[in-house]
Amino acid sequence: MSIHSSVKRVTTHVLYEMKLKGEKIAMLTGYDYSMARILDQAGIDIILVGDSASNVMAGNETTVPITLNEMIYHASGVVRAVNRALVVVDLPFGTYQGNSREALQSSIRIMKETGAHAVKLEGGSEIKESVERILSAGIPVMGHLGLTPQSIHKFGTYVVRATEKEEAEKLVEDSRILEEAGCFALVLEKIPASLGKRVAEERKIPVIGIGAGRHVDGQVLVLHDMLGITQEFSPRFLRRYHNLHAEMFGAIQNYINDVRSLDFPNEKEQY
Ligand code: KIV
């Protein structure tokens, strides 16, 4: 029997076992109770309360503005919905960089106030101390390398990262540092598939890709993008599984027409 179908609860240990057995890990973002219930019931392995909430929930252009309190609000709803999935929460920009004590305090707030199972941080060697301090409190940490959206103002563009040798070698070295520091998994975003494959082969911890090719240990997408709720964002790595925008648009138009034409509510829909 496969590991994912036999476990009642996905833990970091289950994810290692899945990698060892070559079972791919399915991860999606989630930001609220109702969606998280569907994700969990459908059997997703990991729900990431991503700081992409800043884009898809709050309408910001980048992930930079979202606050720790806002992440805690989103994560609390997700955790209340979940029975099986591992819930990982992004530490937002400005709550961990350059100050490992603050990184620990932010992580403790997330764990205490939401009941989530792990936190995710962006960056490599420069956040090693923060990762180690968070881990010293028994909080599991997921790393994130490649296109790290909190650094968008440094990159200046959302193009594929690590296409040049120097950046690719730094990414491999950072993945080693994060594994050694104790991260239980890594996200690799928007990098060449060959580099994703190399990192997944060199690391013992699960490597989950978003635009990192098919040879990594699992995949993650932003829920609103893969459901087709968002329309503007169409990178090559995104597969849309539905056109929920069109379906919702149609349903809402039908409702408006029914209200205006006095079709809703009818006799059976009133007291
Ligand atoms: O915030 C987010 O949604 C993420 C994923 C893109 C991995 O970090």
Q: Are residues 163 and 80 in the same domain?
A: yes
The torsion angle over the Cα atoms of residues 224, 92, 166 and 209, rounded to 10 degrees, is: -30
Using an 8 Å Cβ cutoff, are 76 and 69 in contact? no
- Ligand 1 pocket mutation pick from 51, 64, 89 by most atoms within 8 angstroms of CB: 51
Q: Are residues 174 and 263 in the same domain?
A: no
Q: Are residues 198 and 262 in the same domain?
A: no
Q: Are residues 174 and 270 in the same domain?
A: no
Catalytic residue among 189, 201, 202, 267: 189
Asked if 267 is an active-site residue, the reply is no
The CB of 50 under 6 Å from ligand 1? The reply is yes
Q: How far apart are CA 115 and CA 121, in angstroms?
A: 18
- Ligand 1 pocket mutation pick from 27, 47, 48 by most atoms within 8 angstroms of CB: 48
The residue nearest atom 1 of ligand 1, judged by CA position, is: 50
The CB of 220 under 6 Å from ligand 1? The reply is yes
The DSSP result for 161-202, as a single string, is P--SHHHHHHHHHHHHHHHHHT-SEEEEES--HHHHHHHHHH
Instruction: Tell me the CA–centroid distance for residue 222 and ligand 1, in Å.
Output: 7
Q: Are residues 81 and 210 in the same domain?
A: yes
Which helix (H) or strand (E) is 210 found in, with range?
Answer: strand 207-210
- Chain centroid, CA 34 distance in Å: 17
Q: Are residues 139 and 249 in the same domain?
A: no
Report the atom number in ligand 1 closest to the C-alpha of 222: 3
Q: How confident is the model at residue 253, as a pLDDT?
A: 98
The CB of 54 under 6 Å from ligand 1? The reply is no
Q: Are residues 29 and 97 in the same domain?
A: yes
Report the atom number in ligand 1 closest to the C-alpha of 29: 3
Q: Are residues 267 and 232 in the same domain?
A: no
Q: How far apart are CA 111 and CA 35, in angstroms?
A: 21
Which residue, 59, 48, 91, is CA-closest to 233?
59
Q: Are residues 94 and 111 in the same domain?
A: yes
* Total number of domains in the chain: 2
Q: How confident is the model at residue 233, as a pLDDT?
A: 86
C-alpha distances out from residue 241 to 93, 238, 252, Å: 30, 9, 21
Domain encompassing residue 267: 242-271
Q: How confident is the model at residue 53, as a pLDDT?
A: 98
The CB of 51 under 6 Å from ligand 1? The reply is yes
Which helix (H) or strand (E) is 96 found in, with range?
Answer: none
- What residue ranges of the chain have pLDDT lower than 50? none
Q: Are residues 208 and 264 in the same domain?
A: no
- Residue 205 C-beta-side C-alpha neighbours within 13 Å: 22
State whether the Cα torsion 32-35-40-44 is positive or negative: negative
The residue nearest atom 8 of ligand 1, judged by CA position, is: 50
Angle at 221 between CA 243 and CA 43, to 5 degrees: 90
Q: How confident is the model at residue 104, as a pLDDT?
A: 98
The CB of 52 under 6 Å from ligand 1? The reply is yes
Q: How confident is the model at residue 221, as a pLDDT?
A: 98
Q: Are residues 127 and 248 in the same domain?
A: no
Q: Are residues 152 and 263 in the same domain?
A: no
Domain of residue 178, CATH code = 3.20.20.60
- Start-to-end CA distance of the chain, whole Å, equals 52
